[in-house]
Structure 1
Amino acid sequence: MCQVFISADPALYDSRARSVRLHGVATSIRLENLFWQVLQEIAARDGMTVPQLCARLHDELTHERGQVENFASFLRVCCGRYLALQLSGGIPRNRRISIRSLDAAQVLAGERAEETVSCLRLA
């Protein structure tokens, strides 16, 4: 089992910091390279740069939830959800389809249905 995970390219789990402007303030975010790659893919789907995507996510999160406690962790979760939603079919694998063109309510409803099925399997 472990060989599947330990055979990953070490470059994927090396971390690096990138500077991003959030509300005009330069902020440093440290993530593993794998997460930067996934953020690049998400940003490219909507014609944005990674810093633009980070700023947009930060703005929407603070608007919805208030203060952000751990933005780097939030970004990691975003990447995980993006990949999981692709696997479940909630987000098309075709990278030419923008994320903003998707019906968020429909994607989230599919995610909730998938979680319900998973819970029922565990019971």
Structure 2
Amino acid sequence: MTVADICRPVSVRDLNDAFRRSFAGGKVMLTVGVAALPEADRDRLLSLVRSYASFDPGNDPHGEHDFGAIKHGGERFFWKIDCYDTDLLHASPDPTDPAVTCRVLTVMRADEY
């Protein structure tokens, strides 16, 4: 294992956290079920995504902070960050390089997964 291998998850984690907290520097996608929520519920759900901090080895085995599960209004929701190339056609060649990466955060109802 190289120093780059050890440091990479921290860089990806930091970039994912910054994007998730701000929704800046990427795209946020809502599934049909989330988009159909009343505006106040949708806003609260997105606020919970932004403030999510319940990472542990069970839900974040690679330490990249790219997935979370949230309960809101008696329902379970997931959010997921994927790193694509800037054309959104393939995986990013280097998720630690914002110049070649577009982060996409998808928020979905658990039953839409």
TM-score (structure 1 length as normaliser): 0.27
Q: Which has the higher contact order (CA 8 A, sep 6+)?
A: 2
More helix per residue: 1
TM-score (structure 2 length as normaliser): 0.29
More strand per residue: 2
